[in-house]
Structure 1
Amino acid sequence: MIEVEHLSKIYGATPAIQDVTFSVKKGEILGFLGPNGAGKTTTMRILSGYLPATSGTARIAGHEVHEESMAVRQRIGYLPENPPLYPEMTVEGFLYFVARLKRVPAGERARQVETALKRCNLLEKRDVLIRKLSKGFKQRVGIAQAIVHNPPVIILDEPTIGLDPRQIIEVRNLIKSLAGEHTIILSTHILPEVSMTCNRVAIINRGRIVATDTPEGLMNQLASGSGCELELESRPEEQTAVMEFLRELPGVSSVELIRAVNLPENRFRLRVLFPAGVESAPAIAFALAQRGINLYEMRRTRASLEDVFLQVTTEEKSAESEETTPASEEQGNTSELVEVNNNSSEKIKKDE
């Protein structure tokens, strides 16, 4: 359904993305995961036809994005990070407007709008002005405008950013309900979004794809599920030295303090990770005993998607962000929706 090969975008001498290659099968939800400034939004804008690539190809539903831009736009629904909403229009009026722009036939327009309202749980808000909606409902309207023409492909750029926990759960459930019937790319830097929503993951860092697989496959392949949690006893002033001692042991890749409550005096908990394919737990227990450090518990743990993410991305944030995109191109968020007189929203809804 989606095939991306060797895609690059360069601004002057600065590459935003380089040699990006991935694919998404029909009905899948792909989590496009990366830190801020990694190239997620640039990639999404290229796929949605709002930004030309410097090199490489992208095909959606059999159509090349650059060569067949209009055909591609008819087959995708795009929710940018900042949804292009008109605050003085009603929810229903806005969806009729978008359906018309998306060339939904006049005879099917009412049915398509009604379907979008139902799927996004907006029926009770259909006559409400968009400016009066909460952030969560505005995000629902953004998703509704992306699906009102029933596209086979949906691209969502940071769909839960700025939402409260309840709104996040509601939007997450909405996205999952769209899978199967639609192929979805979910671009985000929020790890729980990916693990709870997506079938497959592509991780981008500094403009390059650094890993792609199912969440489980990435955890098995890159982090090997290898690690343990320790409960130790040592005076508070000695705990840092204990952590440094463990970090120096062969077969230990990282040591971090776990913020635990209700522990007995002088007890503390650590999480220790091992390199892929290495079993270090027995050696750690032996080394602690030799050092005279009391070990009260050692529990094996399975690496998480967060561990994988930290492993394949650098901790240092790139000084250059994709927000260096020229202003004329950054305005692509709203290029699909032309300016209209706010007072005409209800007329748009009913015409034709």
Structure 2
Amino acid sequence: MSEQVQQAPAGSATGTASENMIEAIGLSKFYGQFAATRDVTFSVPRGQVAAFLGPNGAGKSTTMKLLTGFLSPSEGQARVGGFDVSTHRIEASQKLGYLPENGPLYEEMTPLGFLKYVGGVRGMSSAELSNRLEFVMDKCDLSTVWKKPIRKLSRGFRQRVGMAQALLHDPDILILDEPTSGLDPNQNQSVRDLIRSLGKTKTILLSTHILQEVKAVCSRVILINQGSVVFDGPVDELGNSQEDMEERFHKLTHA
């Protein structure tokens, strides 16, 4: 039931001319005989916040790593901002902010030091970096921990630091893998509010297995199970209530 997209020639770099900002085109990843993903196909248009939903081990993180270029597909193509991430990774990465589920945070650094390091790796100018540091500190509410070692921060603040690095270069596209995993209810709400705010100007693909989160911040659901897309549609088509969504989710993932 996945949304079909037209595959461009390999190496195509159409930039912002593409309406679809995130495209998975027949993505498969094999480890020997095991298929972590199989023929995953969907696209996310400009300005949409889409949930990438599925049980643990369904292939969500693998798909996100394929979309961001951290893994190479066995088959298929991943495109971000119109760029093939395999052949135009630098151009794609300039359009993309990625929050891994367990992001590489250097615990001996402060949030300020870590983000300066990330900005340097991305080649940001001093003036641009200074402006963006102030922006992400405010947007991610990091002022109280700005100069504390990351190792001393709570899980919630670490997630905010991870979100800040994803936002630092002002990307058009965000791919967020389990951004509220392990957070308490107050931290959950804070991160959801941030995602909702970002969704006004960004294209977002949000990986989660929390149905309440889907209802709160997303307009569309892409559901994956055992490496394949089994549902793709508006949130309301999955169910109008928490109970309806849980029942439909169970049916789709236990077929």
* TM-score, reference length from structure 2: 0.88
* Amino acid in the other structure paired with 2:238: L
Matched with 1:242 is none
Q: Deviations over 1:55-98 (max 9, x none)?
A: 11121111011111121122111111112111111111111111
Which runs of no fewer than 5 residues in structure 1 stay unpaired? 220-224, 226-300, 316-352
1:135 corresponds to 2:155 = yes
For the 8 Å contact 1:26–1:180, the answer to whether it is kept is: no
Q: 2:77 aligns with which of 52, 57, 60?
A: 57
Query: Which of 193, 216, 228 does residue 173 from structure 1 map onto?
Result: 193
1:207 alignment partner in structure 2 = 227
Secondary structure (helix, strand or coil) at the match of 2:251 reads helix
List alignment gaps of at least 5 residues for structure 2.
1-20
| Equivalent position amino acid for 2:226 in 1 | R
> 1:302 and 1:104 mapped to 2: Cα distance?
44
Report what 1:47 is aligned to.
67
Partner of 1:255: none
RMSD (Å), alpha carbons: 1.5
Aligned partners of 1:8 and 1:53 also within 8 Å: yes
Displacement of 1:131 in angstroms is 1.3
Equivalent residues in 2 for 1:42-191 (5 A)?
42-191=62-211
Superimposed CA distance per residue, residues 26-80 of structure 1 (whole angstroms, 9 cap, x where no aligned partner): 1211100000110001000011110000111121111011111121122111111
Tell whether the 8 Å contact from 2:156 to 2:183 is kept in structure 1 after alignment: yes
The equivalent of 1:304 in structure 2 is 244
Q: How does 1:331-342 map to 2 (within 5 A)?
A: none
Larger Rg: 1
SS of residue paired to 1:212: strand
- Cα distance in 2 for residues equivalent to 1:177 and 1:65: 27
CA distance in 1 between counterparts of 2:92 and 2:183 reads 30
Q: 1-side partners of 2:87 and 2:247: how far apart? A: 40
Q: Look up the SS of the partner of 1:304 in the other structure.
A: helix
What is the one-letter code of the residue matched to 1:66? S
Q: How far does residue 304 in structure 1 lie from its aligned partner after superposition? A: 2.1
CA distance in 1, matches of 2:61, 2:41: 15
Given that 1:91 and 1:127 are in contact with CA atoms closer than 8 Å, whether structure 2 keeps it comes out as: yes
1:218 aligns with 2:158: no
> What's the secondary structure of 2:190's corresponding residue?
helix
User: Which has the higher relative contact order, 1 or 2, with Cα contacts under 8 A spaced 6 or more apart?
Assistant: 2
1:52 and 1:83 mapped to 2: Cα distance? 19
Aligned residue runs from structure 1 range 305-344, under 5 A: 305-314=245-254
Q: What is the TM-score of this pair, normalised by structure 1?
A: 0.64
* Aligned residues with identical type, % of pairs: 47
Tell me how far apart the structure 1 counterparts of residues 246 and 40 of structure 2 sit (CA, whole Å): 22
Aligned residues: 235
Query: Aligned residue for 2:4?
Result: none
Q: Note the 1:209-288 alignment, pairs <5 A.
A: 209-219=229-239
